[in-house]
Chains A and B, each alone.
Chain A
Amino acid sequence: MFINLYSYKYNIMNKEYYNPNDLKKFGEITTWSKELGDRFFEYYNKVFDEGALSSREKSLIALAVAHVVQCPYCIDAYTKDGLQRGIENDEMMEAVHVGAAIKSGSVLVHGVQMMNRHDQLSM
């Protein structure tokens, strides 16, 4: 049962688009474009500092957005971040529902456009 060794090295035989180990290598994006990468991470870290919103609130927003943009790396990162901050599972799920509500609302509100177009084209 004990321990399947994993490797940090990118496995060229890996046929999956998403590899959990790639999250640990996020910082490496700077190697191909240092200035832009550095500026991005500086901005990214600054965004999550305590401000008008607490870091805890920002973590929950990030979790909701992570689901809306369906980023598995971000879901992994901000679930762990939430646990570390003592955010409870019901709070996390409510945040996901906020994201889901906006996402589904954004689909449904286009129904008005459909209705408008329908009525315009119909006798």
Chain B
Amino acid sequence: MIKKSLKARKSELSKTQRQLDILSNSIFKKGVLPTFKEKLESHKISSFQPKTLKILQINIGYMCNQVCAHCHVDAGPDRKEMMPPDIMIKCIQTMNDAGVETVDLTGGAPEMHPHFRWFVEQIRKKTKVKEIIVRSNLTILLANKKYHDLPSFFVKHNLHIISSLPFYRKNKTDRQRGSGVFNTSIKALQKLNAAGYGKPESGLILDLVYNPSGAFLPGDQNALEQDYKKALSKDFGIVFNQLFALTNLPISRFLDYLIASENYEDYMTTIVEAFNPSAVANLMCTNTLSVSWEGYLFDCDFNQMLDLKVAVDQPHINQLDVKKLQNRNIQISQHCYGCTAGAGSSCQGSLT
């Protein structure tokens, strides 16, 4: 089990350019597989532009109490990057200026940011945002006394909680997210249920995220949701709203795993062959803008981790021009195949 981020280990793959080189060379350069751009063109999609901006996904920092084997953020306790308050204030201004409907707070573990609660309170107080999502890793709720009251904070501000639980049994979850994570996640889910989350009459939404614990694609989202609901209810009395089945994208630590386990080429072949053109129109990058802890803007959180900034002159929230952003071309590379494979994949699950 890994204990440190790629960055702390000084891995070559902690450099975004190295990742982009891998994704652009080898099988793609040799013409064995088409690049994502070539694939879009073969389906008569020559330019790839966003629709109306609806979701502002804000990565408020890369610090996390877990070091998951598949993490595309390369998050962990050794990551110290945190969004400063002035960028948070600018984000709030942007929510109003752009008429953002949904704010999606992610990390790392967003709750570990010292200004997390203040930020949520400000969003509720100063904007008309309809929905605030927090991507909670669950174990943070029990990691330290100072986090124990988070469920009541979530309830107070009616936050939509989306949490990763790679499987409904211990072994697969712990292999991916660390020893003991499953049991702690179960306790955290029970706390959230006790606060009303996941119960149909409460209006408090608790969604779970499944992602494959290895070099394969997720199965049918509805079938997996039924299996999760049955097993978690029977074994632990846990209820939740929806399950989102996400594909692992070949970047950062998952890319490191693919290469080390000699699965890279087969996995890329799998996601290229599973390309589903009907998923393209609903890709999350078409209605989402991702903001980094420093305030830089990206088409999605994955592009953020590859440092592929939005294709405008000044890709920073301090110089944000909504009109110019609407006319940009979305930045793509071969990792995008992860979102168009099979039923499609986004931070809100399947796309088709």
Chain A residues at the B interface, C-beta cutoff of 8 Å: 1-3, 5-8, 24, 55-56, 80, 83-86, 88
Contact = CB atoms under 8 A, between A and B. Distances in A.
Contacts of A88: 169, 172
A24 B260 CA distance: 23
Q: How large is the interface on B (under 10, 10 to 19, 20 to 34, 35 or more residues)?
A: 20 to 34
Given A7-B32, A8-B32, A84 B217 contact: yes
B39 to A, nearest CB: 16
Nearest to A79: B216
Nearest to A83: B216
A84 B212 contact: yes
A83 B265 contact: no
Contact of B223 (A8, A55, A80, A83): A55
16 contacts: A1-B259, A3-B259, A3-B265, A5-B27, A5-B30, A5-B265, A7-B32, A8-B32, A55-B223, A56-B223, A80-B216, A85-B220, A85-B224, A86-B210, A86-B227, A88-B169
Contacts of A3: 26, 259, 264-265
The A interface, classified by DSSP as helix, strand, loop or mixed, is loop
Given A83-B216, A85-B219, A6 B167 contact: no
Interface of B: 22, 26-27, 30, 32, 167, 169, 172, 210, 212, 214, 216-220, 223-224, 227, 259-260, 264-265, 269, 273
A80 B259 CA distance: 19
Nearest to B227: A86
A85 to B, nearest CB: 4
Contact of B273 (A5, A6, A24, A80): A24
A6 B264 CA distance: 11
Contacts of A2: 22, 259
Given A2-B259, A3-B264, A5-B26, A86 B224 contact: yes
A88 to B, nearest CB: 7
Contact of B32 (A5, A56, A80, A86): A5
A1 B273 CA distance: 25
Contact of A83 (B32, B212, B269, B273): B212
Q: Which 10 A-B pairs have the closest CB atoms?
A: A84-B219, A85-B219, A83-B216, A3-B26, A80-B216, A84-B216, A86-B227, A86-B224, A84-B217, A2-B259
Contacts of A86: 167, 210, 219, 224, 227
